[in-house]
Amino acid sequence: MKKLLLVLLLATTAFADDVITRGAAVPKDAKAIPLATVLQNPESYTKEAVVVEGVIAASCTRQGCWMQLAPSEEKDAQSVRVTFKDYGFFIPLQAKGMKARAEGVAVVKTLSKADADHLEEEGAKLKRQQDGTALEVSFIANGVELKK
């Protein structure tokens, strides 16, 4: 039964106009808030889910449990680390460079030195404070759509 479900999931993903979906469905008619707008005032986007779009600048290289989303492919574009609600889904390990649309909420928090070290080992780019911690604006996604 599990094998049949896996085959159906892979077939659906492979033939869905090259759109890979994970988690909850991202509303098709929802207007995306520019990622730069969310990053300028993240506290305004912590309560109600919004849709953001961008390009995956980096992603977890071990299991696909996060992605770094930037508004454009520019090398130094400001980006946000996107995690997936309740660790409920992952993205492909080869997702870097894909376009993404995600629905969720912003989170502002301080990462411990150990958490920051772990994320950097997986490829995350963080701005460290002198004590090794990192202040992070992240985004918790209920669902994502990826396109090549």
Q: Is the model's pLDDT at 4 over the cut of 90?
A: no
- Those residues whose C-beta lies under 8 Å from the C-beta of residue 124, and which sit 6 or more positions away, are 58, 66, 68, 81
Q: Which pLDDT value is given to residue 69?
A: 95
Phi, psi of 20 (to 5 degrees): -100, 125
Q: Which residues contact residue 107 at a Cβ distance below 8 angstroms, ignoring those fewer than 6 apart? A: 42, 46, 137, 138, 139, 140
Give 86: exposed, middle or buried? Use CB within 10 Å, 0-12, 13-18, 19+: exposed
64-119 pLDDT tens trace: 999 999 998 877 778 899 999 999 999 999 999 999 999 999 999 999 999 999 98
Question: What's the confidence (pLDDT) of residue 72?
Answer: 84
Look at residue 5 and tell me whether its pLDDT is greater than 50: no
- Provide the pLDDT for residue 3: 56
What pTM value is reported for the model? 0.79
> Tell me: the pLDDT tens digits for 32-74?
999 989 989 999 999 999 999 999 999 998 899 999 999 988 7
Q: What is residue 7's predicted lDDT score, i.e. its pLDDT?
A: 44
Instruction: State yes or no: pLDDT of 132 exceeds 90.
Output: yes
pLDDT band at 2 (very low <50, low <70, confident <90, very high): low
Nearest to 145 by CA among 80, 73, 53: 53
